[in-house]
Structure 1
Amino acid sequence: MCLRRNVIFHTTAIVTCCSVVLALQSTEYVQENSGKLKDDPAEQLFVRLFIKRRKEQLDAVKRLLAIDSYEKQNKMVSVIAEKVFSVIQSSRVTLESSGYIPGSSSFPKDENTLHALANILENTAFFGDILLRLPNISHKIITLKHEWEVLLHWSLGFSNQTHLLDKQTERLMYLVSQELNITERDPDYQNPYSRSHKKEQNREQSVQQNTVKKNRKKEYKKGPRMSSGAFTGEL
Structure 2
Amino acid sequence: MTQDKAYLETMFGLGGQRALITGSSQGIGLALARGLAQAGAQVVLNGRDAARLEQARETLAAELPEAEITTLVFDATRHDDVRAAIDGFEARTGAIDILVNNAGMQHRTPLEDFPADRFEALLQTNIASVFHVGQAVARHMIGRGRGKIINICSVQTALARPGIAPYTATKGAVANLTKGMATDWARHGLQCNAIAPGYFDTPLNAALVADPEFSGWLEKRTPAGRWGKVDELVGACVFLSSGASSFVNGHVLYVDGAISVSL
Q: Same fold (TM over 0.5)?
A: no
More strand by share: 2
Give the structure with the larger helix fraction. Answer: 1
TM-score normalised to structure 2 length: 0.29
Rg larger in structure = 1
Q: TM-score, normalised by structure 1?
A: 0.31
